[in-house]
Structure 1
Amino acid sequence: MRIFFLFSLLALGYASSPSPEFGSRCRCTADQACWPSASVFSDFEKSISQPLIYPLPPASACYPSSSPSGNCTEALENWDDGNWRANHSGASQSPNFETYTWRNGTISACYKETSLGVPCGQGSVPVVGIDAREPSDIQAAVNFAVKHNLRLTVKNTGHDYFGRSSGRGSFLVWTHNMKDISYNASFVPQGAPRHSGASTAITLGAGVQWHEAYDAANAQGQILVGGASAGGSVGAAGGWLLGGGHSALSPKYGLGVDNVLEMTIVTSTGEHLTVNDYQHADLFWALRGGGGGTYGIVTSVTYRTYPSFGLVAGYFVATANNTDVMRKVVTEYVRVHPSLSDAGWSGYSTLSNASLTFFYIMANGTEVAANSSMNPFFDFAKNLTSEGLTISTALTYAYPSWYAWYAGLFAHGDQNGANVQTGSRLLPRETFEYNYKELANALLELDGVAFNFVGGGQMAKINPDSVGVNPAWRRTLVHITFGTGWQDGSTVEEIQQNIGALKAKIKRIRDLTPFSGAYFNEASLYETNPQYTFFGFHYPILKVIKLKYDPHSLFVVQEGVGSEDWNSDLTCRRTLL
């Protein structure tokens, strides 16, 4: 009943708030006469702490006429490095979101393969923006964007499978250099009642990345719930969190949004708000899972931290020379996941028609407990070696701390720089319990799945209405992603053919789990019902909060709350209200 009561309160609050200011039906972009002149931008520059930036696609360094001082060798050597890309205001982690496809089928892009003979184009990379270092910079930029009706984009690291941090002809707020970090052993949210309990907490500026956050927490003997990617380049206070934020620690402590104590945010009215359970609680609720770049620009996040602990890891790597044996091992692998969850396991895996790899953890586990729960699967797999299964790794290993496990696997490496579009699904526990054979068949048909074992445990015990994230997460055991890709220079027809195959895969797994959903941060642009798929029955209340705190409708992102009111470029409203 809580969700309906909250909806009523918000509806009343919205009725007394300012009506949305719609002004022009379309946002102004750099190719239009309405775009501010150089002198107007020059005057604006005086109000911010850093010079204006003029983002360029990262491959522009290989085109002397586009970037005369660029270092092409550096760009090519670091092309796949997520941290290198994050340090460039014009780079996305997936270069396809740097491109723009015109209606006639031509593509504006800046490819690293100069031999393609395609001129370096700006594509969807914003043309001008600010290098934000403090909230006042963001406030000035927001006020400027509202005054001139600009198409606004917000970017931290560019990790985004929807391309939400890019936009053709747009004005950019780049938060990547807001790197403040502070630890507080007795944090109390602003506005909390006297004698409220204190928490160990870490406050991260908008630009802090996970490798920086983990290092800072570890220095205090603490850990926090966060993401895992090669090099730790994902932002810790941006889209990862605002979309929900899953982690190998989620079964123990909940999602990222379940561990936030407070945020600060700049809204489209230029206000810098501190939001928590006691101040602007409705906005705080929405920010925890209601989607990044939708309600304002987050300037800091305060997370609850926990004392460091040891763990046991389980590793398995196997390949098969025939699909029959792969089907057997994957079917058993799927079947045992409810019992592995109950034993305290979580982690990450990849599987296909030819291989299965996983690296799991048992937080605070003992080697005895780990072996007793994992060995039955290891033994099952070993019995298939005579049928063509080759096992190169099947073991458990104790680590002194979670940080030691993380640093060994994720501190280094590259996993970016490729043209990618994804699909995903939240797989409920009941599907594993009652339909595991069909689920195994579907996963094998996808033939290339990232199998994120990040659900169940404590996460399933949290009230689904306590935060704005998709309630489907509370029934989820595993979150899967799969995708498609293409080479630079591919035609629109070739790209669309790949996307068509991706859509078929999405339908296959959606039909198997019709009442579930998908993770907003790692999903598809081609869901048939994105509002329900990404937000579930929370969507109507999220829309009310969106209208209340963004009266200028400034913050609009692909598939985000309210995006259905805009065209595909997010530049013109479909209707006037």
Structure 2
Amino acid sequence: MAVFTYTTPTHPHGSEYEVSLLVMKSVWWLALLVSGVLSKPRCRCLHGQRCWPTEYDFAQLESTLSQPLIYPVPPESACYPESNPSGNCTEVRTNTFTGTWRSDQAGAMQAPNFETFIFPNGTIEACYLNTNLGIPCEQGSVPTIGVDARTVEDVQAAVKFAADHDLRVVVHNTGHDYLGRSTARGAFMIWTHHLKNITASPSFIPEGAPENETYNEAGVQWYEAYDAAHANGRVIVGGITPGASVGAAGGWMQGGGHSVISPQHGLGVDNVVQFEIVTASGENLKANSYLNSDLFWAVRGGGGGTYGVVTSVTYRTHDISPLTATSVFCNISSAVTKDVLTEYVKLWPGLSDAGWGAYLYLGMPGAVANFTILFAAPDVSLADANVTLAPFLDFVRNVQEDVVTQMIPFDGFNSFYQAFFGSLDPQEGINEELVTRLVSRETFDDHEHLVDVMMSMRPLLFFNVAGGKVSQIHPDSAGVNPAWRNANALMYSAAMWEEGVTVDEYRVIQEKLKNDLAVLESLAPGGGTYLNEASMYEPNPQHTFFGDHYERLKCIKDTYDPTGLFIVASGVGSEDWDSSLNCRRT
């Protein structure tokens, strides 16, 4: 600091030295005051803090809504009468592993570990289904209040209320989320699960878009969308889970959206023609290639809960075409596993080019067989599928005695889905975290290294949901990670555990996942993965989840959400906030 002293010999308050010192002290204290104000982090208002809206405030909000406010609780609380005296514990115990039931509970996540909260000192706050653990039921990470949005106007009122009161916002649909983005301790929830409507329109043309589209509101789940598309003689690209409880217009689409028929028809984002979204300003905007095209680009892969609340999506649908499915089941011995995987990865690039999809599972806990493959060959006859797969199937039968194979022709996707997934046991309600990587086409060239990595993963899931049409679409056509356009598969490993583990036991699980992640990274250093099925331990999530699209995604984010109302774990703009995502970094 430069201080200039003016000599005033006759100053009544003392010498020029004293005057100079007084000025310096005043400037110093002013600088400290300004610095303190400017450096104080801006934090969202959370439940329990003095800034939290009053009962009157919430009553005013409720008066504008189509439904009463909701007060989410962990669904397991029904088994604790002191916490939830009106709860039905029998219902919870009967349905806790059913994805469609869990999606109907505002306070439920499909993986209940995301309902818990771990304090910095290692204390866990949770509500466990196993009451014999003797641990009290508490709220954990489940928001305490929210809006049951049934109309666009409900969403707009909720967004405006959250913005006016500077609340931490979470957008919650079905709770399928491996990054915990749709729940947060002390937050205000916008629950879109009941925004349900489906309209099929063969003449839907949003400002020049192609014909034959299906319109879904945000709460529609894939089992509903599949039935509607089939009833109208169409097929739609959607999520593949037992029961199809994933939302059709939520995070699945906004993260990219893959399917076993993606190699035939592209990713979910490649089939979106238009959507509507309530942004941080409270506006309900339509976005397509001609209107708000920057937002249309960003939301298709930029991540759920990041750019606003999507209230509807219009998907391009396709003609129903025949499909031949081939399943392989066995309890494979460790002695031949490597040889079988080697033959599989050698086979795959050619099948990918032909638009085939497949799911491979190895070492899945509780599975009937420890090794399963399901091939889906679109527009391929039974005879041609047999010719293509015969060498591989013969190889497997020669090295493994108990192999069961089936090759079944279907008239279309819907009957295939019902046969293989409609009757499967539910797989939700389990504590689980994932690590994943997209497997590039070049990685298949070094099949020895690829197989070595696959051998080190248990459980191993190897989903051939890329290549084909996915690779034919220009990487910059949508905001989704461009690594998808050079991928042939998505590889997973996972950790699953019983509820009630201690923090120390959980840290061991985390280390296993981090080690698996490092092994996957060795496949293609600096590679990418699928945002919706990913690890919370990525060292550089901006690159791994979004690739070289990140800067453009961030610019669009700042344009439509300049205050950061919509912030989620590892999402676009999350690096501007602290680890809790409650306080903005200075």
TM-score for both structures, normalised by structure 2: 0.91
Tell whether 2:528 aligns with 1:517.
yes
Question: 1:337 aligned to 340, 348, 359, which one?
Answer: 348
Cα drift, residue 327 of structure 1: 1.1
Partner residue of 2:558? 547
Task: Extract unaligned runs of 5+ from structure 1.
Answer: 1-21
Q: Secondary structure at the match of 2:401?
A: strand
What whole-Å deviation, never above 9, does each CA across 1:250-279 have from its counterpart, x for those lacking one?
Answer: 111110000000000000000000000011
How many pairs does the alignment contain? 544
Residue in 1 that maps onto 2:9? none
SS at match of 2:492: strand
What's 2:163 paired with?
Answer: 146
Q: Which of 5, 21, 30 is 2:47 aligned to?
A: 30
Residue by residue, what CA displacement relative to the aligned partner does 1:392-411 show, whole Å, maximum 9, x if unpaired?
32232111221100011222
- Residue 246 (structure 1) aligned with residue 258 (structure 2): yes
Range moving further from structure 2, 445-454 or 122-131: 445-454
Distance 1:30 1:397 in 2: 54
Q: For 2:519, which of 484, 508, 522 is the aligned residue?
A: 508
Asked whether the 8 Å contact 2:354–2:468 carries over to 1, the reply is no
For 2:14, the equivalent position in structure 1 comes to none
The one-letter code sitting in structure 2 at the alignment partner of 1:285 is: W
Q: 1:204 to 1:345 in 2, by over 3 A?
A: same
**Distance of 2:466 and 2:147 partners within structure 1:** 38
Secondary structure of the residue aligned to 1:315 is strand
The structure 1 residue matched to 2:284, chosen from 272, 284, 287, is 272
Once the two structures are overlaid, the 10-residue window that deviates more, 265-274 or 512-521, is 512-521
1:298 aligns with one of 290, 294, 310: 310
Partner of 2:8: none
Per-residue CA deviations over 1:493-515 (Å, capped at 9, x if unaligned) read 10011110110011001112114
Show the 5 A alignment for 1:76-475.
76-189=93-206, 192=207, 196=208, 198-321=210-333, 323-352=334-363, 355-384=370-399, 389-412=400-423, 413-432=425-444, 434-475=445-486
For residues 353 and 290 of structure 2, the distance between their equivalents in structure 1, rounded to whole angstroms, comes to 35
For residue 485 of structure 1, report the CA deviation from its aligned partner.
2.2
CA distance in 2, matches of 1:403, 1:349: 21
Q: Secondary structure at the match of 2:372?
A: strand
Counterpart CA distance in 2 for 1:298 and 1:233 is 18
Percent of pairs with identical residues: 49
Q: State the shift of 1:450 in Å.
A: 1.4
Task: After TM superposition, give the deviation of residue 480 of structure 1 in Å.
Answer: 1.4
Partner of 1:570: 581
The reply on whether 1:484 has 2:492 as its aligned counterpart is no
Residue 560 of structure 1 corresponds to which residue in structure 2?
Answer: 571
Letter in 1 for 2:340: V
Q: How does 1:48-87 map to 2 (within 5 A)?
A: 48-87=65-104
Q: CA deviation at 1:213?
A: 0.3
How far has the Cα of 1:475 moved from its partner? 0.6
- Please give the secondary structure, in 2, of the residue aligned with 1:439: helix
Mark the CA change 1:154 to 1:35 in structure 2 (over 3 Å): closer, same or farther.
same
Q: Matches of 1:535 and 1:393 in 2, distance apart? A: 40
The separation in 1 between residues aligned to 2:550 and 2:560, in whole angstroms, is: 15
CA drift of 1:325 comes to 1.2
User: One-letter code of the match for 1:230?
Assistant: P
Task: Output the amino acid matched with 2:359.
Answer: Y
1:319, 1:390 within 8 Å by CA — same for their partners in 2? no
**Cα distance in structure 1, aligned partners of 2:99 and 2:579:** 27
Whole-angstrom distance in 1 between the partners of 2:555 and 2:76: 41
Partner SS state of residue 320, structure 1: coil
Give the residue type in structure 2 aligned to 1:396.
M
User: Which digits, 9 at most, give the CA deviation of each residue in 1:397-451, with x for residues without a partner?
Assistant: 111221100011222431110111111000011111x211111111110121111
Moved more, 287-296 or 412-421: 412-421
Kept in 1: contact 2:356–2:468 (CA 8 A) = no
Shift of 1:227: 0.7
Q: CA deviation at 1:197?
A: 5.8
Unaligned ranges ≥5, structure 2: 1-38
1:320, CA displacement in angstroms?
Answer: 2.6
User: Kindly tell me: are residues 537 and 430 of structure 1, through their superposed partners in 2, closer, same or farther at Cα, counting changes over 3 Å?
Assistant: same
**Contact 1:142 / 1:268 at 8 angstroms: preserved in 2?**
yes
2:68 equivalent to 1:42 = no
Q: Distance in 1 between matches of 2:70 and 2:469?
A: 44
Following the alignment from structure 2 to structure 1, what is the Cα–Cα distance between the partners of residues 285 and 451? 47
Inter-partner Cα distance in structure 2 for 1:347 and 1:382: 19
8 A contact 1:326–1:355 mirrored in 2: no
CA contact (8 A) 2:382 2:407 kept: yes
Secondary structure in 2 aligned to 1:391?
Answer: coil
Larger Rg: 2
CA distance in 1, matches of 2:418, 2:105: 25
Query: What is the match of residue 18 of structure 1?
Result: none
SS in 2 for 1:528: coil
Match of 1:17 in 2: none
Tell me the alpha carbon deviations over residues 23-73 of structure 1, each in whole angstroms, 9 at most, x when there is no partner.
Answer: 970000002111011111111110111100000101000000111110001
Maintained 8 Å contact 1:203/1:301:
yes
Q: Which residue identity lines up with residue 395 of structure 2 in the other structure?
A: F
1:492-503 paired onto structure 2 within 5 Å: 492-503=503-514
Residues of 1 paired with 2:406 and 2:137: CA distance? 49
Counterpart-to-counterpart distance in 1, 2:302 and 2:125: 32
SS at match of 1:383: helix
- Residues 38-47 or 267-276, more deviating: 38-47
Structure 1 residue identity aligned to 2:443: T
Letter in 2 for 1:379: D
Aligned-pair RMSD on alpha carbons?
1.5
8 Å contact 2:79–2:88 — kept in the other structure?
yes
Structure 1 partner of 2:6 = none
